[in-house]
């Protein structure tokens, strides 16, 4: 009995698989000291393919995301590195995407190239629960994480089919298409500045302001 060694890990390395859906390989680290821990999450960009709908037609997008999150975790239970926890956090996110799709402008089906660039800095609080299996395997469930972000987004749609510039009617149709696309996103649809460049056949939609957010997911890893 005196020679038995009690394992009390204070470092955790974890992976959050859900980040891959947005083009990010999410790696997490935790350093524990008593009832509290310092946490850090890093999102490494990984190309991920998604299909969206633009002007009633399918559009193919490739997405990548870079992110960083730092938190200060307090466990609410008396158990080491497990149980319910409360965690204020700071985060940064840079998400980019490029896509190709079709649109109908002036009664003609044309090819459109899309680019989108999103940046956000935010703060939030996380409620979650962590489980340790045999004091080695970690399951971290973060299920309630409201946040607020200062965000900026720039979306461009460029016609790549014809050489001639748009007419006024074509420019109006292209602007209407992008407004219908933006209307799918409830928190930004009434706060976007849309501009049209007839000569370069480009529609640009810019947003800058405050956005609410919600952090939820699960990660798996090891403690040592």
Mean pLDDT for all residues in the chain: 92
Reported as a pLDDT band with limits 50, 70 and 90, residue 6 is: low
pLDDT of residue 184: 82
In which element (H, E) is residue 177 found?
A: helix 168-182
Sign of CA dihedral 202, 203, 208, 214: negative
Whole-number pLDDT of residue 127: 97
DSSP assignment of 89-148: EEEEEEEEEEEEEEEEETTEEEEEEEEEEEEEEEEEEEEEEEEEETTTEEEEEEEE-EEE
Region 71-99: mean pLDDT is 96
Q: Measuring CA to CA, which residue among 85, 97, 81 is closest to residue 132?
A: 81
Task: Please state the domain extents for the chain.
Answer: 11-223
| Residues 104-120: tens digit of each pLDDT | 998 899 999 999 999 99
Just give the CATH number of 11-223. 2.40.160
Q: Check residue 1 and report its DSSP letter.
A: -
Which residue did the predictor score with more confidence, 181 or 221?
221
| Mean of pLDDT values over 57-61 | 91
How far, in Å, CA of 137 to CA of 126, rounded?
21
Radius of gyration of the chain (CA): 23
Half-sphere CA count of 188, side-chain side, radius 13 A: 26
Report whether 77 contacts 117 (CB < 8 A). no
Distance CA 54, CA 58 (A): 6
- Cα distance between residue 119 and residue 67, in whole Å: 10
Query: How does residue 86 score in pLDDT terms, banded at 50, 70 and 90?
Result: very high
Burial annotation 73-86 (CB, 10 A radius, 16+ → b, else e): bebeeeebbbbebe
Q: How many CA atoms lie within 13 A of 21 on its CB side?
A: 4
Helix or strand holding residue 27 (H, E)? strand 24-33
Dig out the tokens for 216 from the structure: 């939820």
Contact between 19 and 26 (Cβ < 8 Å): yes
Regarding pTM above 0.85, the answer is yes
| pLDDT range class, residue 73, cuts 50, 70, 90 | very high
Residue 133: pLDDT over 70: yes
């Amino acid at each position: 009995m005196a020679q038995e060694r009690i394992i009390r890990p204070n470092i955790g390395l974890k992976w959050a698989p859900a980040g891959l859906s947005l083009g990010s390989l999410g790696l997490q680290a935790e350093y524990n000291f008593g009832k509290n821990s310092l946490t850090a999450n890093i999102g490494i960009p990984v190309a991920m393919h998604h299909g969206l709908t633009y002007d009633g037609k399918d559009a193919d997008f490739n997405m990548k995301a870079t992110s960083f999150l730092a938190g200060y975790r307090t466990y609410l239970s008396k158990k080491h590195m497990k149980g319910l926890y409360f965690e204020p956090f700071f985060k940064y996110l840079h998400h980019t995407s490029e896509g190709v799709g079709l649109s109908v402008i002036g009664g003609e089906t044309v090819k459109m190239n899309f680019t989108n660039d999103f940046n956000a800095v935010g703060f939030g609080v996380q409620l979650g629960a962590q489980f340790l299996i045999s004091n080695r395997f970690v399951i971290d469930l973060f299920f309630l994480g409201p946040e607020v972000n200062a965000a900026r987004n720039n979306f461009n749609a460029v016609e790549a089919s014809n050489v001639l510039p748009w007419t006024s009617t074509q420019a109006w149709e292209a602007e209407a298409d992008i407004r219908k696309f933006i209307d799918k996103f409830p928190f930004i649809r009434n706060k976007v500045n849309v501009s049209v460049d007839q000569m370069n056949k480009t529609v640009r939609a810019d947003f800058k302001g405050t956005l609410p957010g919600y952090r939820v997911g699960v990660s798996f890893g090891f403690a040592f």
